[in-house]
Structures are given as C-alpha cells and as structure tokens.
Homo-oligomer: A and B are copies of this chain.
Amino acid sequence: MNDLLRTRLFHELDSIRLIDPHTHIEPHAAASKTLADILGYHYYTELIHSAGMPREEIEEAGLDPKEKVRRLVERIDPLRNTFQYAWLMELARTLFDFPADEELTNGNWEALYDSSARRMAEPGWEQRVLEAAKLDAVFLTNQFDDPLEGFDTTRYVPCLRTDDLVFHLANAEVRQRLERSTNSEVSDAASLRTAVGKLFERFTSKGARACAISLPPDFSPVLSPIGPKRSEFREIANKVDSALAVMQRGLESGDTTEQHVYDGYPRVISHFVFSLLVEFCAEFRLPFDLMIGVNRNVYENGVHQGQDLYDSRVSLIQYRDLFNFYPDVTFPISVLASVTNQELVSYAWIFPNVVANGHWWYSHTPSFIERDASARLEAVPQTKQIGYYSDVYKLEFAVPKWAMYKRILAKILAEQFVVDRGWSEERAVELGRMVLRGNVERIFGAG
C-alpha cells in the first residue's frame, strides 16, 4: 500500500515545473554534444579512476570523444552498484530510448553513442532536455569576470561565485582579472571595496539572484567592515593595505606566487573580502549561498574535479557572528557532511536568516538525502528550506538527479506525513511543492 502511495505522490510531485537554484551549466553550451560530455562528468571519471583506471588513460590530451567513451565503458563494471551509474541508465533510457533491460556494455555503447549524438545534434535538443527535466530556469555559477552576455538571463540566471576573490586574491592573475573586469586599479582596502561593489552592480544589473562561495571546514569569518567592532575598521584596512602592497611588490618583482606573500596576508585579505561580500549582499539584497566544508586538492593525483574531500569536523558555530551581525542577509546553507545537517536544521530553526539548501556533493547520495531531508521537513519551517539543486554541468543530468530527489521526497511524505501523521495526500504534495519550487521563487526572487 505504501508503495502505491509513494508512486502516487511521486507522480504529483513530478508534474511540478522547476527552477534549479544551483548548477554549473555553461549557458552557451548547456546541453551535451556527445556521450563523452555525459561520461566525462567527474562523478564517473573519479569513480572509474578510483576503481583502477589510470588517470592518464582518462585524461589523455586530445583524446577523441568516442575513444574516451569506449575506454570508460570498458571499465564501468565496478560502478554498476552506484547511484551515479543509476543516473546514467535513467538518463539514457529517458532521453535516448536505451532499452530498459540492458546495461551499458562493450557491446552496445557504440550504438548509444551514435544515436545519442544524432539526437543531441538536432535543433531544439537543449529545449527538449529542459522540457524533459521540467525546468523553467537554471541558476548558473559565474566567475566574477564572466561577461554575462549572449544568453537569456531569465532562463540561465547569473550567480556570482566568489571563491577566487576570497581565497586567491594573493594570486596576481586573479587580481588582474578583477582589475580588468571592473576597469579599476586595486591597490588598497578602499579600491578593493570599490571594485567588489562594481561586480555586484554588474551582476545584479544582469539579473543575478545569488552570491555564492564554497568554504573549507576551518573557515570562520572574521568580520571587519561592519558589525559591532566597526571602530576597528581603520586598523583592519591598514592591514589590508599592507597586504595588498606586499602582493603588488611581489607582482612587480616578477615573483607572483602565492608563497611569496604567504605570511598571514592572504588570510587578512580573505576575511576582508568575505566581509565585503556580505556587506554588498545586504546592500544589493542578494542571498549569499554558503557551501560549507570542502578541502580542495586532497587527492593530488586525482582526475579533474575528483581531488577534493573534507574533514567532517566543522560547526556552524563558526558562523555565529556572521548570522548575528547580518540579520538582513539570507544565507542558504549547504553542508558537505551529513553530520552537520543536524546543526543546519537547528540553526535554520533559530536564526531567521539561515535557510537549509539542498544536498551537496558527498551528501548527495540517496541514503544521506533521505536522512537529512527527513530531519529538515519535520523541524525547519516549511518556508526556510530549499529542497534540491542539481549541481549539474550539463542539462541532461537534471533529468535523473531531480527524479531521484522527487522519489525520496515522495517516500518521506508518504511514510512520515501521510502514514505517520495522518496528512492528506494533497497537503503532502503542497509541502513538496513548496520545497521544490515555491521557496526557490520567494527566497531568490526568481521565476
């Protein structure tokens, strides 16, 4: 009986039009061209590498797309139990009519490669995928110097990604990108602030709906420009001035490595820039997506985008001052490790400006999503949780990923709301609609 109930709820949820509030879609090439774009997703390359395929064979320079797919399929056996492989099969069956009773093998990959390439080359493929995924709009992840031109920003919604600004401004190339993209010189705290302000102006004028950053587990904002210690601003600005001056000298002397200035200065600048971002989020009324907990480049010889891991020992208490000092900034928060989800539930339950946001990366597997979403749905106000974002690099993946989430959501609503709490199915679907779509509209002012 519960199985039928789950199915009914899933079909209702599955009829809802969606806005995907976080992806890595490239708007000029949103859909895939060949199966190599699909199997090149880091979820496959990293798992196939982890299961034994040398990185060099996967990432060989100039490798023909078809040959790449041939190689990956040849080594895909160890992945057949994973949910990532399940996405691949659902994608192939839904979008490319891959037979329901077949697995992807050495014997049939080429037929799929060729037939899918033909489909992808048809006019309107991108639109067909958006329809299959029921997506009205898709949020992007734009580098700060992205020109944001040549695409429909109501369909592909700009978001200002700020990792480089906060963590890599000590790198001369990043400073130069900032200067060029804002047409200004960045030499001290004041000019840095001006430049960042220009970014916000440009992004919001292009319809940006969020500022976003991923943060390492040991990051704890030291808020300088405003907050209760406003009197200390001059002192901090002086430190920032010195830090930037040292960087500049490094640049002029030709030594542009981060190491040259790595004696505390980058940290000073990181915290200063982070503070600027929050300040401008308040001024421009942009939500600030915090994606908390990633350590970059842990596996140094991993494949592209398959090198990052984490330390699950992180706490939202590190963001206590941030949440207190900026009551007017909304912080949609994603956590990397499921253990932090309970803190996210509790902080969203207490702080008006904290919103629980999706299921990120290593917590983006069915058993963790079910566990984490259950805890949110029973304790966080229904208006303060964004159920899901797909995080995809190519549109096609939105189809199986959203479907996975909707099945889990249907299961939770069936078991914990309809059965355990006696809710009507209609009411359960309404809750689903709010976390799937309504909150994305209201929190980000989208749609």
- Name A's B-contacting residues (CB within 8 A): 3, 46-47, 49-52, 78-84, 86, 295, 298-302, 306-307, 309-313, 315-317, 320, 323-324, 327, 337-340, 342-343, 345-352, 362-363, 365-368, 371, 374-375, 377-384, 407, 416-417, 419-421, 431
Q: Tell me whether A378 and B366 are in contact (CB under 8 A).
A: yes
Q: Tell me whether A349 and B46 are in contact (CB under 8 A).
A: yes
Q: How far is the CB of A347 from chain B (nearest CB, A)?
A: 6
Of B51, B338, B377, B407, which is within 8 A of A383 by CB?
A: B51
Q: Tell me whether B299 and A309 are in contact (CB under 8 A).
A: no
Among A299, A350, A362, A377, max chain B CB count under 10 A is at: A350
Q: How far is the CB of A335 from chain B (nearest CB, A)?
A: 11
A307 to B349: give the CA distance in the assembly, Å. 11
A46-B349, A51-B352, A381-B51 known; A312+B315 contact, CB < 8 A: yes
A309 to B321: give the CA distance in the assembly, Å. 13
Give chain B residues whose Cβ lies under 8 Å from the Cβ of A83: 378-379
A-B pairs, top 4 by smallest CB distance, nearest first, are A78-B381, A51-B381, A81-B382, A78-B383
A29 to B267: give the CA distance in the assembly, Å. 55
Nearest B residue to A317 via CB reads B311
Nearest B residue to A315 via CB reads B311
A50-B351, A317-B295 known; A368+B342 contact, CB < 8 A: yes
A315-B311, A382-B80 known; A346+B362 contact, CB < 8 A: yes
Give chain B residues whose Cβ lies under 8 Å from the Cβ of A366: 378, 416, 420
Determine how many copies of this chain the complex contains. Answer: 3
A375 to B384: give the CA distance in the assembly, Å. 27
Among A3, A49, A306, A375, max chain B CB count under 10 A is at: A375
Q: Tell me whether B47 and A381 are in contact (CB under 8 A).
A: yes
Q: Tell me whether A81 and B377 are in contact (CB under 8 A).
A: yes
A78-B383, A337-B343, A381-B78 known; A298+B310 contact, CB < 8 A: no
A77 to B50: give the CA distance in the assembly, Å. 48
Q: How far is the CB of A181 from chain B (nearest CB, A)?
A: 33
Q: Tell me whether B310 and A346 are in contact (CB under 8 A).
A: yes
Q: Tell me whether A51 and B384 are in contact (CB under 8 A).
A: yes
Q: Tell me whether B312 and A381 are in contact (CB under 8 A).
A: no
Nearest B residue to A324 via CB reads B300
Q: Tell me whether B298 and A352 are in contact (CB under 8 A).
A: no
Q: How far is the CB of A218 from chain B (nearest CB, A)?
A: 10
A371 to B341: give the CA distance in the assembly, Å. 14
Q: How far is the CB of A371 from chain B (nearest CB, A)?
A: 7
Q: Tell me whether A350 and B309 are in contact (CB under 8 A).
A: yes
Q: Tell me whether A82 and B378 are in contact (CB under 8 A).
A: yes
Give chain B residues whose Cβ lies under 8 Å from the Cβ of A312: 315, 339-340, 342-343
Of B82, B311, B350, which is within 8 A of A299 by CB?
A: B350
Give chain B residues whose Cβ lies under 8 Å from the Cβ of A309: 316-317, 320, 343, 346-347, 350
Of B313, B346, B348, B368, which is within 8 A of A313 by CB?
A: B313
Nearest B residue to A303 via CB reads B350
Would you give 24 A-B contacts (Cβ < 8 Å), ordered by A? Answer: A50-B348, A50-B349, A50-B350, A50-B351, A50-B381, A78-B382, A78-B384, A81-B377, A81-B378, A83-B379, A298-B317, A298-B350, A299-B324, A299-B350, A301-B324, A301-B327, A309-B346, A309-B347, A309-B350, A310-B317, A312-B315, A313-B313, A367-B375, A368-B375
Nearest B residue to A312 via CB reads B343
Give chain B residues whose Cβ lies under 8 Å from the Cβ of A419: 3
